[in-house]
């Protein structure tokens, strides 16, 4: 179940120093919950709205932020999406 989605097709690499552009890159981009498997996927941009930041994605069992099942950090939207798709298709989670 998608609880929050502001993830866009905007790619950060090669972007101008346009403040309005970077305001799209926040700590709260995507949150997806699977109650049946007790999983939470959270995606954000850290530091918030900063050109020197990166996407950070974590997959949690329950809401155990201290011990994520898996996590990744990347500036590539393609790598982020690839990881999310892989994680959501894992049979063991």
What is the CB neighbour count within 10 angstroms for residue 10? 11
Q: Is the distance from CB of 11 to CB of 74 less than 8 angstroms?
A: no
Angle, CA 82 vertex, CA 50 and CA 86 arms, to 5°: 125
Full domain range(s) for residue 65: 2-89
What pLDDT digit, counting tens, does each position of 5-40 carry? 999 888 787 666 777 788 889 999 999 999 999 999
pTM, two decimals, is 0.89
Q: Is the distance from CB of 50 to CB of 61 less than 8 angstroms?
A: no
What pLDDT digit, counting tens, does each position of 54-88 carry? 999 999 999 999 999 999 999 999 999 999 999 98
> Structurally, how many domains does the chain consist of?
1
């Amino acid at each position: 179940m998608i609880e929050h989605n502001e993830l866009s097709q905007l790619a950060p690499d090669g972007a101008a120093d346009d403040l309005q552009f970077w305001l799209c890159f926040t700590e709260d981009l995507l949150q997806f919950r699977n109650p049946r498997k007790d999983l939470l996927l959270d995606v954000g941009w850290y530091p918030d709205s900063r050109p020197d930041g990166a996407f950070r994605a974590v997959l949690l069992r329950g809401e155990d932020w201290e011990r994520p099942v898996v996590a990744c950090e990347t500036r590539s939207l393609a790598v982020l999406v690839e990881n999310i798709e892989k994680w959501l298709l894992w049979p063991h989670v």
